[in-house]
Structure 1
Amino acid sequence: MNLLRKYFLLGAIPALIAVGLSTILDYQITQRLLREQIDQTLEAKLDAKRNEVRFFLEKHFSLLDTLAATPLLKDGTIPEILNFLKVQEWAVRNQIEGLYYDELDGTVHTTEGATFSVADRDYFAEVLQGNKVTTRIMKSRGKGKDVLLLIAPVYTEDGTLKGAVALALLDSQLISFVHGMEVTRGGFLALVDDSGRMIASSSKAEFVRQQDLLTSNTTVIDDKGTRFLVSYTQVPDTSWKLIVAIPEIEIQGVYNRMAWSKVTAVACGITAAVILALFFSERTLRPLQKIIQTFRQYAKGDQSARFSENARGEFAIIAESFNHMADELDEARIQQEKHLRKIESSEDRFRRLFDGAADAIFLRDLEGTVIDANQEACRILGYSRDELVGMSVSRIDTDWNQEDARKVWNKLASEGGRYHPLVERIHRRKDGSTFPVEIRLTLIERGGEVMVMSAARDATLRKAAEKQTKEAKEFAEKVINASPGVIYIFDLITQSITFINRNIEKELGHSKEDLEELGARFYTEIIHPDDVARVRLASTRWYEAGEPEVHVDTFRLKHANGQWAWFEFHRVIFQKDINGHPTQILGVATNTTDRVLAQQQLVWEKALLDQVMETSVAAIMVVNTEGNIQFLNPALEKTLRIGRDYVQGKNIYGFPWEIFDMAGKPLALEARPFARVKSTLKPVNDVRYRIQFGPDAYVTVSANGAPLFDEKGEFAGAVFALADITERIESEKVRESLIRSLEATNTELKQFTYTVSHDLKSPLITIKGFLGILSEDIENQDKPAIEEDLSIIGSAADGMKQLLDDLLELSRIGRNVKSRTMISLDEVISEAITLLAGQIESQNADVRSDIEDVHLYGDAIQIRQLMQNLIDNGIKHNRSPNPKVTITAREEDDFILIEVIDNGPGVAIEYQERVFQLFDKLDPDSAGTGIGLAIVKRIVDFHGGTIELDSDGQGNGCTFRLRLPAVMPTLDATFNLSDHNESTLP
């Protein structure tokens, strides 16, 4: 028995110790594996949920990026942008609260037309820096709701920050999204901002709204005493944090369930230590092997690997955690696939916008190979998309140069989104025809590949508009300068005159600069104090009523010498704002001081002589039943230009003048005022006709007449009042013509201004760019580079000066008609050749003139400029080693025909109409500004001549043929009194 106990003890005690140590080791290993599994599960949950939040934000930011990239938001006006956003807002109304447009001064526009300011918001500084912004939940100033704002910057085509487009989500939409992200096994999920304030949470996390979740604590306790393990992570591209928590009891439950195994192990060790030790070792290792095997199976790509319900055993929590982690990863993969499908949908929408664009859009790489093109590009070029893709740009762009393209690429890459150059090129269609285009270049990234996007617009109409603008400008200058009245534009916003012609100095002694300096004080210092209130009241009523179209008023203005002068104003509304309210008034003012003073004098005399008929200002005539003149007053004598004694007692039909109606046809007897009154026995009013006194002398009158009756009520004659309306008719015609011409000129001048500003901007861009390069070269002390930089800057400045000089010369043409005289053509040509002697010698040119004793009528300086420009044109563009220019002239009728012939390359027939257009250079690399031949054309037009170009464009030179007046023009006679017999009067 003792021996048995000894061996029992020797066998049992070591076995018991082994079982105890195995139990302790098993406990530690299980605890560590469980903690690692829980940490991995939490990290997987956080990563999956963080991706869901990121996908949620990216979906809405992709909409903002698409809107910000549209040309309408880049260059459109506020009303155009709001209309566009309203349409887009309607399309996604179920997904967002609203779309807004932010200006750089903090003003926010809603699609309903309301505005408010957010300049005091803490996120506005980020907007001004051009960054994308995701705000906290805040109270909307537009609709008063709690919203989350997503803001994206908007840049203009030249890369300037213009504003921002914002998308608002209701907090309920974000909360609903977070509620849809419930965590299983009693856990919760919360989204907090950078201050620790909770933005949204799942329904189980309401108790943590009063707790700071961003402290170093890893546990929180709810109001029921339940402890939660907390883990958080940063949401990409935001200052938010995402928090996931799992009840601690779920973890501790595993530990508690394992207590029985320890007790059983000790008891079994006492009774059968060795057997139980082996048994528990086997029992412990088998589940672990299954766990490791399942992990390896999942790691090899078997996404369906899971622990079965009956195989979990004591390690159920590990199995459940693994199964849950795998489910979460599957869900994250599904969400990722959904996000990829959304991205594909966004790309499909981009393709529709790309193909539906009104401009031709190309995508090309650095080597100039077309990668993609939209439908408009295919249409205007005549190619299919398959033909364009892979084609070299050099087949489309006639001026393509690989080196220049590489420079533009480098500039785009260095400047980024701030640089969007606009260039003019010539494109070639599939059929070989060419047309001018304007191209806007932008560097973009697509699928990780950097490329250049070119948006091309047909510039054919713009070129034609430039020509029309030039012609309209010349016409407007002539009309404005020839007008006898004062033509002005008055701005109602600033209450000041913004434009006035030079007649103001003649009529009032004030210069344009004086009126600009007066500004809004014009009313108080120029208009008579007694007239100010009346003028303002009448003007206000006119603005409000909108009628009549032409407002006529008379009031006094103060001359520079202190005297008051009467003016008659004819005004029309010239400009209106978007609401239809007048903003500018166009007016024509005529000095009527003499007329007003004469009228005042007549009124005074009429009152003084007790309304004696002899002093009446109206031209009055009384006739009897037979039409014999019984009485006429001095006013009628003045109108008819005949003495009273000559017509007194004579019949009304016996006067020696032709009478015409307003259409210029002879006025029939039955249509005369007296015949109409006698036949109808009723008054006639405003019967207008013209009395022709001579070839250039006539008067237009308005006759009013009424029958006279004797005491028996029988017709006894008639009384007539005639008004001279000649001046009024002519002034009304001139005024209406001026108004129509000025309206057309205003539109065309805008296009002219755009072209001039574009050509002036090019050298400025060159100067600005090379100033930066010069600064670097100075810093590097690179003297040759500095000299080259200064040379380029100087050339650009010289080019701008030449352009301004040519524009000044162009504007002077036609200003002084009095400078025209009979001039010697051969002397003028000799002076032009002398002025070009340096250029002629440097290019070894031969300029010959075979003209002798030829004279013409014109401005000697301008004719010399004309010949100088033509000779310079024949030498400058001549690629021959010995340029030749020959000038001949001959007289034909009353004109001099001049030919200027050169041996240059010539001009193709299709380009010959363009050579006389302003700024149009057939060779962009040639010297000059593109104004020389435009000046020639204008000088010829000013002299009443013609010019044409003859060239086959095959290297056989050009022949310019000019036709200029040889003598001073004469006025043709318009009427010959000797061709007409005696006629009659009214």
Structure 2
Amino acid sequence: MDSGPSDSTSARANQPSTTSHVAADPLLTRAGVGSFRATSSGELLAVNDAFASLTGHAQSALLGQPFSTLLADGSDSPLEALESVEEDDTGRLDPVTTECNLRTATGRLVPCTLHLRRSKEAASSDHDDSTGDVVGLVQRSQLTESPAADTSLTYGKTFAALAEALPDGIIVLDTDSDIQYANPAVERILGFEPDELTGDSKVKIIPERLRETHLTALQRYLETGERHINWTYVELPGQHRDGYEVPLGVSLNDFTYDGDRYFVGLFRDISPRKRAERELSVKVAQLEAVAYLGRHALESADVDNLLAKATELVAAALDAEYCKVLELDEPGEELLVRAGYGWADGIVGEATVSATAANSQAGYTLNDDRPVVVEDLETEPRFSGPALLTDHDVRSGISVTIGPPDDPWGILGVHSTDRREFADHDVDFVQSIATVLATAIERTQYEDRLNETVAELEESNDRLEQFAYAASHDLQEPLRMISSYLGLLERRYAEELDEDAADFIEFAVDGADRMRAMIDGLLQYSRVDTQGEPLEPTAVDAVVENALANLQVQLEEADAEVEVAVGDLPTVLADDNQLEQVFQNLVSNAIKYCEGNPEIEIDAEERGDEWVFHVADDGPGIDPADQDRIFEVFQRLGERGSGVSGTGIGLALCKKIVERHGGEIWVDSEPGEGATFSFSIPDRG
């Protein structure tokens, strides 16, 4: 096989498990061949299952024991035969074959043939032995007239049985790269019959582009012993008899027999694993593309840029030449190429495709609730491709609707110039991209409609504010005139008017005053958002102090007591005038609706990332059924007290101011137990 990057000699010395007998242990065990590794002094370092079974001892019991304990009493150790072996010209040590009797756990002696070899390269790192470990193969001897011949025959039969039973290919080559043996599995993997390869050059099963490299690497190894690939396992291509390459997983080793040097290679077809790896890699790339496009859709509102990126990603992920996004027009008759990848100039943004033609792929896609997969457009019986596809030599592809099948926005299509089959995960990928696009387009359309609605609301609010200002201004003058003339009438004709007439005049003046107060309240309400001051750091202590000063006369007339948590009120971002209005309205309501001498408490508490302020009174309380209604315009507190005047705008004004500050307002109360009005202001400090 070919050579490549070398493995380290020092690393090999520290890893005795990579020696040939250890690497082949599963194969040897399967063939019933025992193997062991021992120090030069005979201490057992490793044994396989077949060796343990032959001796009747557990593997764990054998490790660390001298090999001599397994021999008949007084027998010489067969390992001593290695002492007379000298290195050849290449520095290697030839193997030794010898006979011995092994004592089993039951005391029975079993005649065995041992194939021994000392490997300097495999010296164990856990003992100090400069001459290296001993590796050996052990087989039970058969009683025949010619033990030596039978041993060789048995060994050969064992190898042949093992090689023919393996699903992996085995080849044995000489130093000229001529194949001396090939097992039956080679034909299944590479198509060559074993007899066809035996005696021929190994380069026959190496791709032509790698043959020179192989021969050069082999010659370098024979001259210097330098390896350029990992012999334990390497992935290389093999040349199939039919001309194509087969990916192989290869293990290599070399050995000396009867003075000649040979190489053995075990290999298996790893095409299924390679296909699985490629498919997994494609799936990962497709998932990453979907995730990337999803993030881009969330971060950008530019639909055209999103569509362009989508076509580029889909074409790359499926290794296709073309991808397009078609947008369906309002009548549903024509599709515009809104975005595309790979198309000729003048296509994207200009070319159109019929959406209604019965035999068109686009029309078929719009009328089908499933993805449309085309393997070969030339033989496709369901529809014909439009000129857009045929002019670009398109043969295969996938098309899906963008949006729900019963109300599609358009079509996403990916196309290839080759006839090809698409896997299920390819179709799922295109559908996922179409779903991302549909979601992004729907979100953009929603945002556009929302922006239009907001603009219309802002325009409507401006008109309402102008109307409120005009109405308040225009109504104030007639109301003042009514009040003035009624007062003049009362003063000039007081002696001529009876008691009923005086009452009528008083009612009329009171009504005009209340109407003027309502107009002023509506004007304040309409200007909370548009005429308010910027939110700035505001000391609530000072705001409450100003509000109570404005109510000084009302507080004195009611003999009210107000307890304020002075020093405990925070500083918040607020419009101080509007915040003062809130406290003033809440305290004023508490005074108006409390009988006797009102007791009012004002405090605050921090809750998470906001401050909550409380204005509590000891009045008659509020029915739970009325607690939401009282914050609406013109909704008064009802019969909470008798003879209480008001416009029904005060609490509604408080609510609008609090909401402008990003908070909420509510009341906690039960009839007869007083009321606590609370509102929150976010802590933005």
**TM bin (shorter chain):** 0.3 to 0.5
Q: Higher helix proportion, which one?
A: 1
Per the normalisation by structure 1, the TM-score is: 0.25
